[in-house]
Structure 1
Amino acid sequence: MSGAKADKAPVDLVHQNAIHVETVRKELRTLRLHTHFSLSPHKKLHPIQDKPMSKKPQELSLSFPADFITAFHTARLEPTKKYTHPQTESQAIGWISTPLIVSDRSDRRFHFHRQGSDVSKYMETASRFLK
């Protein structure tokens, strides 16, 4: 045990200071100062919600730059308004959600209204009495 301690060299402060100076020099060489910050259009924003009993919703302040407000609103759009085509296979299902034909409630080919028969009327009244 005493041999392991004897093999260890004493701490040399001059060499440790040289290593520290070299480390700082390398960090300063790769340092970049970022002064322009913007929103990522791919990340959904979660603003703070209003209090439940507040009278009117909280509006965005006009002190924000115009590009910030437009990026905020475009980030919150649904995918069909953001992109021209689906980005994933999951988005492809239901991407075109407009109906193929105009819905007409009077057309009996597509709307089967509820019809009652003697049996269904009997079962309806029987279920009322069983409860």
Structure 2
Amino acid sequence: MAARRGDRCPPDALLNRFHAERARKERRWQLLFTQYTVNPLQPVHMVSRKPMSRHENIQEPIDDEFLKLLHRAAVVPREKYSEPQTESQVIGWHTKPLVPFDRSDTRFYFPRHTTEITIHGYPAPREPKFKDQEESYT
């Protein structure tokens, strides 16, 4: 049987109650940030100043904490951290060879050998196609 009109909520009130409950649950986990800084992981693009601008030619004191953040952002990860932070950094993290490199040891050193075939730009003897070209080769 159908419910009476007084027992049911209008659709807008039901939807409003749903949104209010969801907002209440989301507010429990929100954090309020009041102190903002530069993201040290993003590169900073400097824009040159306008020479005729009055408000940009005012000298301001330098913030040491901001400079430290900028310098730390420019440092390569191998100098920042003692161990790789991601799986992609694992590849190429350790660049020092395990065995000292010795050019006289033929087990690990394979120099390139040049032959007549591998010399780049080696002039191969050619026969001229036309009689007029014979003079240029001789």
TM-score by length of 2: 0.45
Identify which of structures 1 and 2 has the higher relative contact order when contacts are C-alpha pairs closer than 8 Å and 6+ apart: 1
Bigger proportion of residues as helix: 1
TM-score normalized by the length of structure 1: 0.46
Structure 1 or 2, whichever has the larger Rg, is 2
